[in-house]
Amino acid sequence: MRRAIRSCDHTVTLCILVMAAMFPATKTGAQTVTQKLQKAFLRFEEDSQLAHAISSLYVIDAGSGKVVFDKNAQTGLAPASTQKIITSAAAFALLGQDFRYQTKFGIAGNNLYILPSGDPTLGSERWQNTKADKTLERITGSLRQNRLHINAIYVDNKGWAHSDIPDGWMWQDIGNYYGAGAEKLNWRENQYDLLLQSGKNIGDPVRIAGTHPKLFGYTLHSMATAAARGTGDNAYIYFPLNDTAGIVKGTIPVNENGFGISGAFPSGAKQFIAELANNLVNTGIADPFFKAKKNSDGEIYDYTIIHTETSPPLDSIIYWFNKKSINLYGEALLKTMAYEKKGYSATDTGVNIVKNFWKQNGIDPAELNIADGSGLSPLNRVTAHAQVEILKYARQQSWFSSFYHSLPEYNGMKMKSGTIRNVKGFTGYHTSGDGRTYIFSFLVNNYNGAASALVRKMYTVLNVLK
């Protein structure tokens, strides 16, 4: 013992080393991660895929809030679907995780009045209770139980903006399932499946074999052709607004019999009314020559509510919104926040509500230059800094476990991905092997080459956090 003390007294350097071993500094570890990120990000930027691109990466330590890495964090970039974390966190805060939509059905005389609330889950196949056939059965059963005979259907669209498509959405997008606009009355997530048949030879015309469900009031014409085997789905549906005829362009592989792609209803409300009317005729509740009517925002007369369809709770909706990146849910939530807070549902109103909410929580509105709720619009510009601040805010809330659970897992990390043309992003959380939790946002705009190759390189950078 005496010898050890003398050694310590006479060898100051040894004492310091011993004490350093006894009390390892966390700062050194953080610097190591920072240095590793600097090297990894530099290699990433020097890659030929990034020759004409701009990238941002922002990482903080979730426990301390200290910045671990910052490159272009204040530069607004197109976020693609990583923008969904902005909408979903705001929806949790402003609507509450137990919020539910209600679609009410009222009767006045022989008229059926539908009072929707913007529910994007009505007729969805993701929950047993919301499936289309079960929903129609419940509505029809309620009418039968009340011994009603229906002459007309009216939909109350008051308080809902006429335009269902946000600014900046591309024509190539809006006819396809991921480009479905949010109406006050949505149905089957406003999408349908289209079955295609191709010929034996490259260049042969592609034939439309059918749709599920049957489309009411709309027709489709195929201009698509057959391409080489293994080329996959390169077919797109173009549906001009306010038109009744759509066009299928592009290619599918040769020798396909029943090749499926998904499209967006030009109007989910019209499709729902037509399906309901068809059901009422088949069950004798309406006459064969019955004609449904869709009321935009005219007066709704006195009615008695006889049936209500209630959606799953918000936390369940957001689970699918983030997990499967359903754009319709983002646009519906944005409009719902506008409707609940201002009494009028328009995308622009919802955008302003979301930006003002985040402003109240310390985020400069200029960092959230957004045009929609889903990230599909290429007009969106968001900073990596803002996304990380939103994720940090979410982590402190009572609903965080539901929010965290909704995030997909990629590369062994809980994070939301985003993809539009030449845009890729990841934003989320990761707890490293040494127990530290990091919050990060990684956005890349205007890269070249294959998205799959870029993703591997982005993972290489993010792997430093493991």
> Do residue 249 and residue 286 come from a single domain?
no
Within a domain: 260: yes
Residues 322 and 460 in one domain: yes
Q: 17 lies in a domain?
A: no
The model's pTM: 0.91
Residues 345 and 252 in one domain: no
Q: How many CB atoms lie within 10 A of CB 52?
A: 11
Helix (H) or strand (E) holding 42: helix 26-45
Tally of domains within the chain: 3
| 19 within domain boundaries | no
- 23 neighbors 433 (Cβ within 8 angstroms): no
Please name which of 40, 52, 42 lies closest in space to residue 449, comparing C-alpha atoms: 52
Decide if 47 is inside a domain: yes
Which of these three, 297, 312, 327, is where a domain ends?
312
Instruction: List the CATH number of the domain containing 455.
Output: 3.40.710.10
- Same domain for 92 and 233, yes or no, is no
Strands 219-222 and 102-108: unpaired
Are both 173 and 256 inside the same structural domain?
Answer: yes
Is 1 contained in some domain? no
Do residues 373 and 410 share a domain? yes
Q: How many CA atoms lie within 13 A of 88 on its CB side?
A: 34
Which residues 6+ apart lie within 8 Å of 213 measured at CB? 132, 188, 192, 271, 275
- Note whether 413 and 332 are same-domain residues: yes
Structural domain includes residue 16: no
**pLDDT tens-digit profile, the chain (466 residues):** 333 333 334 443 434 334 444 444 444 444 689 999 999 999 999 999 999 999 999 999 999 999 999 999 999 999 999 999 999 999 999 999 999 999 999 999 889 999 999 999 999 999 999 999 999 999 999 999 988 889 989 999 999 987 789 989 998 899 999 999 999 999 999 999 999 999 999 999 999 999 999 999 889 999 999 999 999 999 999 987 677 899 999 999 999 999 999 999 999 999 999 999 999 999 999 987 766 666 655 566 688 999 999 999 999 999 999 999 999 999 999 999 999 999 999 999 999 999 999 999 999 999 999 999 999 999 999 999 999 999 999 999 999 999 999 999 999 999 999 999 999 999 999 999 999 999 999 999 999 999 999 999 999 999 999 9
- Residue 382 vs residues 91, 398, 407: alpha-carbon distances, Å: 18, 26, 19
217 falls within a domain? yes
pLDDT value of residue 291: 67
Last residue of a domain, one of 286, 312, 338: 312
In 168-278, at which residue ranges do the beta strands (DSSP E only) sit? 191-197, 207-212, 219-222, 225-227, 234-238, 245-253, 257-264
Q: What pLDDT digit, counting tens, does each position of 267-301 carry?
A: 999 999 999 999 999 999 998 776 666 665 556 66
Q: Could you tell me if 353 and 437 lie in one domain? A: yes
Please check whether residues 91 and 123 belong to one and the same domain: no
128 in any annotated domain: yes
Say if residue 273 is in the same domain as residue 306: yes
End position of a domain, from candidates 237, 266, 295: 266
What tens digit of pLDDT does each residue of 2-35 get?
A: 333 333 344 434 343 344 444 444 444 446 899 9
Domain that holds residue 144: 100-164+267-312
Instruction: Based on the fold, state whether residues 46 and 114 are members of the same structural domain.
Output: no
Q: Which amino acid is at 233?
A: D
DSSP 285: S
Q: CATH number for the domain including 151?
A: 3.30.750
**Whole-angstrom Cα distance, residue 49 to residue 111?**
61
Same domain, 120 and 261: no
Q: Report pLDDT for 234.
A: 96
